Structures are given as C-alpha cells and as structure tokens.
Amino acid sequence: MSVAEAEAAFAALEQRIGRAFNDRALLREALTHASAFDARQNSKRNYERLEFLGDRVLGLVVAEKMYADFPKAGESGLAPRLNALVNRAACARAARRAELGAALVLSRSEEEQGGREKEAILADACEAVIAALFLDGGYDAARGFIERFWGDEFDDVSEIPRDAKTALQEWAAAQKRSLNYTIVSRSGPEHEPRFLVEASVDGFAPARGEGGSKREAERAAAAALLSEAGVDV
C-alpha cells in the first residue's frame, strides 16, 4: 500500500468510525503491523504498544458497562460476561464490522498470506485503535467506538454465558472421559505473554487455543475442542 493509498484508507476508516483524528499519526501507528518494517527500521512504531493500552481501556469500558447494565449481578455474574466480550474473537469481530482490515499497513508478504483477514492481526489492531482513540479523544471517544462496533454482543450477554472450560468439564464428565490441558508454548515479552494450550479428552482429537494468559488459552482450547466435537455450549 502506497502512502497515498494508506492515507485514503485512513480517511475512509475515520468516516466509518465517525471520528477524524487530531493526530493522524496515532491512527497510522494503530494500523501498522510489525511486518511493515524490516530489521533496519525496528525503531519505527507499530501497533504493539497501543495494543497493550487498548486492551486495558477495552476492559475498563466493558466492565463499567456490565456494572451499570446488571446492577443485581455479583462478581460471579459479571466476570463471565466480561470474558465473553473482552477476548480475541470479540475484538476480531468488531474489527470486521469497522472494516479495519482495509486500512492495515502490512508487508507485501503478510498481505499475500491473507493478513488483512487474520483473526490475530485484526484483534490486535482493534485494541490498538481503541488506544489511539483514547489518546486522541479521551475515554468517551474510545467508549463510543466500543459501544458501536461491539453492537448486539452487549445484548447477547443478557444471560450469563457458559464458560467453555466449564462446559467441556461437564461434557467430559458425562462421557466418563478424562480431560487434560497442556501448555504447548509460551512466547512474547514478560509484560505481554502469549500462551498456546492444548486441550485433550480421551477418544477425541486434541484442540489448541491461544491467549494472553494460561486461563484465556485454556478457554480458547476448550471452545475449539467442543466445536470440533460438535458439542453446543
């Protein structure tokens, strides 16, 4: 993507999200994947720092909304709702609604490998855009984006979502089969680790899930195994 094409894509995105950035450089940083720079340009900014901040802003916005929307719910009722809305899959869905993929700055090889549609890239960029909005326009700007592009997902948690780990544990117990989780790998810096976990149930093919914590990765692996086994949660 040329500089002119990128600027046009950024302008189109600003129209979709309903906000023109005061500092367009923040938006560019939020949409720039690390692949866009080679080793000699490692001082250039990509979205990783903004992603770190955006994850926390997203969590606060959703926690505040859940607290207000469910005044009678205790922590046990609020936490699963938060987990259902603050995760990689939910961020990727929001990114697709906002069409963030069209504005991503990627290397040619990453683009040829389908980077604009990869769930991990879309989710990370979504969190980075939330951070950019927060830094450029404050809390209300970030909250407006989240409330708009999470859309009906807030309504979908009117009932407490079943945690995938709980559902898999109950299903495995009903089948009288043992369930195990294994950490396959841990990567990333100490402040922002990524875990890859494998869930296995006797007699079924194992499934893997990734997350920023061991628990998140276990939930993702449990959801993947349930899906592959054809079990509705």
Active site residues: 55, 127
What would the two tokens of residue 64 be? 């505040």
The pairing of beta strand 207-211 with beta strand 179-187: unpaired
Residue located via tokens 């600003």? 14
As a whole number of angstroms, the distance between CA 161 and CA 164 comes to: 9
Burial of 131 from C-beta contacts in 10 A (0-12 / 13-18 / 19+) = buried
* HSE-CB for 184 with a 13 A CA cutoff: 15
What is each CA distance from 11 to 15, 19, 149, 164, 222, in whole angstroms? 6, 10, 18, 39, 40
**φ, ψ for residue 184, nearest 5 deg:** -85, -40
What would the two tokens of residue 144 be? 């407006």
Within 8 A by CB and 6+ apart from 68, the residues are none
156 and 147 Cβ atoms separated by less than 8 Å: no
- Which candidate, 102, 231, 100, 98, places its Cα nearest to that of 162? 231
